[in-house]
Amino acid sequence: QQPVQSPQAVILREGEDAVINCSSSKALYSVHWYRQKHGEAPIFLMILLKGGEQKGHDKISASFNEKKQQSSLYLTASQLSYSGTYFCGTEGSSNTGKLIFGQGTTLQVKP
Amino acid sequence: NAGVTQTPKFQVLKTGQSMTLQCAQDMNHEYMSWYRQDPGMGLRLIHYSVGAGITDQGEVPNGYNVSRSTTEDFPLRLLSAAPSQTSVYFCASSYGASFSYGYTFGSGTRLTVV
């Protein structure tokens, strides 16, 4: 079942922060986050496995609440290069290889 | 190391024609998947594979066939093209989530069915 992302779109000024949420109605084994720029392929950002961990690199981090079947992507001090569409992908309760993506969140960072 | 290679990059088909989209990876990834992306839409899973000889259906498998005879290759076959199959097709591969590994995507095939 497709995860639900919110918000659908975000407009920021450089330096502002953003949070993108991803929720599922089913138990999850893993949550993936990807960014896609217009006309390009999606690029992998990070993966979180069940266990309630938080990950991050540079100014982008993510959390995974296994009990609530939710994940959030945190973008701090946004840069122009952060613009694009962000997708979360979820994999069911075991490592099945069946990765289902949400509908995407469009992020636009303005100078 | 070429990553995930998709061919062709562009294709125009007539309704009813069949064709095969090629996907090859040189990273020794066990997991491979095919997605389609329609304008303004997300990525929808067509078929996926967790190893050679193993394939399974995704969210939108109708009208498509796959096979996985080797670890490297995962071709997607359109049986009888329809205008509704006009889309961008992405192939992706991974070692699998248990290794904390995400998917590497190919550059895509832009297919138009007229």
Span B60-95, pLDDT tens digits? 999 999 999 999 999 999 999 999 999 999 999 999
- Cβ pair A41:B35 closer than 8 A: no
pLDDT tens digits for B49-60?
Answer: 999 999 999 999
| CB nearest to A44's CB, from B43, B50, B103 | B103
- Residue B97: per-residue pLDDT: 77
Instruction: For residue A33, list its beta bridge partners.
Output: A46, A88
A-to-B residue pairs, Cβ atoms closer than 8 angstroms: 69
Contact across the interface for A101 and B43, Cβ inside 8 Å: yes
Task: Provide, as residue numbers in chain B, all residues whose Cβ is less than 8 Å from the Cβ of A44.
Answer: 102-104
pLDDT at A52 over 60: no
User: Given an 8 Å threshold on Cβ–Cβ distance, is A41 in contact with B108?
Assistant: yes
Question: What pLDDT, on the 0 to 100 scale, is given for residue B32?
Answer: 97
Q: What is the pLDDT of residues A90-110, one digit of tens each?
A: 998 777 899 999 999 999 999
| Residue A75 confidence class, pLDDT cut points 50, 70, 90 | very high
Of A29, A30, A103, nearest to B42 by CB-CB distance is: A103
Searching chain B, which residue's CA lies closest to the CA of residue A106?
Answer: B40
**What tens digit of pLDDT does each residue of B6-41 get?**
999 999 999 999 999 999 999 999 999 999 999 878
> Nearest chain B Cα to A48, which residue?
B100
B97 interface with A at CB cutoff 8 Å: yes
Nearest-angstrom CA–CA distance, B46 and B22: 14
pLDDT for B86: 97
* A29/A99 Cα distance (integer angstroms): 10
Query: Using CA atoms, how far apart are residues A49 and A78, in angstroms rounded to an integer?
Result: 25
From its phi and psi, is residue B50 left (phi > 0), alpha (psi between -120 and 50) or beta?
A: alpha
